[in-house]
Structure 1
Amino acid sequence: MTEFEILTDRIKLRLIELSDLNSIHKLHSLPETDEFNTLGIPQNFEETKNIIEPWIAENKLSKIRNYTFAIENRSDREFIGLFGLKLGDEKYKRGEVWYKIHSDYWKKGFATESLKAVINFGFDNLKLHRIEAGCAVGNIGSIKVLEKAGMVREGRLRQVLPLKFGWSDNFEYSILETDERKNN
């Protein structure tokens, strides 16, 4: 696979590398970013390394089915967070997105900007028909991000997320290739 990037005015999404381990470990270790995440806080760097090594290996395949991007601030090259796009069965032309943003970058539009860029990549480059996302019902920040990017709430799964405070319902969102995209 040749290296590629997704660029916007403020961010660069690039495939993660082992050199991102320290930044990813810090991100995964923040209690505030773990609140609505099922991954849990890693005990040490080795645990984080074991989590990301398969992601890095997947990114090196000639036909990637599970993209994991580092989000970088283009002005200072600082690590902002992670963004994933997991492709489903080719017949259905469907992908699922996820993201985890460092709390220093919350409420600054970086998550929405990243999501819009990945939606465009999914539809324009990968020729997907549908992109989906799930979100814990209490995660107001992510709900706003998904809706600002033009995703539509389709339903609610009951008690599907095992979060540290107990089982949580999950909102299901999607956007179709035929939907109007919110690019600004």
Structure 2
Amino acid sequence: MKQFLLQTDRLVLRPYRPDDWERVHIYGSDPDFSKYELWGPNSVEDTKKFVADMIEQSTSNPRYKFDFAICLKESDLLIGGCGIRRETEASHVANLGWAINPEFQKQGFATEAAKALINFGFNTLGLSVIYATCDTRNIPSFKVMEKLGMKRVGVIKGTKEIKSYIRDSFRYELLST
């Protein structure tokens, strides 16, 4: 199975490795970090399972979900994760997502990683539509979507139960040109 490696000016997006769980756990275990997510805060076991699942997913055939560890190019320090995921192998629509350790936020890393995924999605995977969703309260996340040139196409009302509360989500899309 082909392993993909994506690079930007400052980042390397690479497959997860078993020892990545420690760096992922730094932000995955933070209750504030996961407040808008269905998951978290993670236990050590949750984080180890997540990394193991990402490693297994990278060997699946056919492969239609691509998740990467985001690492600083100059040091290989893992600072987050990102992914682009089709629903099925034949789908031309995919969901985009990212998570950046709070210590490295507000430096453009999420935007840089997402741009690499968008390029990969349209040029390598042949996608027609790339979309992303986020809790309507998650301003930094939808600001990244807007920086990427994604357009808000709707509000998904009350379809996400997060931390025992029903929440609304924004959906943003980018169409192949």
Q: What interval of TM-score do these two structures reach, taking the shorter chain for normalisation? A: over 0.9
Per the normalisation by structure 1, the TM-score is: 0.90
Aligned to 1:12: 12
User: How do 1:36-115 residues align onto structure 2 when only pairs under 5 Å count?
Assistant: 36-43=36-43, 45-115=44-114
Aligned to 2:147: 148
More helix by share: 1
User: Residue deviations 1:124-170, cap 9 Å, x none?
Assistant: 01111111110110100001100100111000011222222722110
Which blocks of at least 5 consecutive residues in structure 2 are unaligned?
Answer: none
Matches of 1:169 and 1:160 in 2, distance apart?
Answer: 6
- Contact 1:92-1:129 within 8 A present in 2 as well: no
User: Residue deviations 1:93-141, cap 9 Å, x none?
Assistant: 1111111110011111000111111000000011111111101101000
- Choose 22-31 or 158-167, whichever is displaced more: 158-167
- Choose 91-100 or 46-55, whichever is displaced more: 46-55
**Which 4+ residue blocks in structure 1 deviate beyond 3 angstroms?**
89-92
* Aligned amino acid, residue 54 of structure 1: D
- Choose 16-25 or 121-130, whichever is displaced more: 16-25
* Cα RMSD for the two superposed structures: 1.5
Which blocks of at least 5 consecutive residues in structure 1 are unaligned?
Answer: 179-184
Aligned to 1:31: 31
Judged with a 3 Å threshold, the aligned counterparts in structure 2 of structure 1 residues 92 and 66 are, in CA distance, closer, same or farther, namely: closer
Q: Percent identity?
A: 33
Per the normalisation by structure 2, the TM-score is: 0.93
Instruction: Name the count of aligned residue pairs.
Output: 177
Q: Secondary structure at the match of 1:32?
A: coil
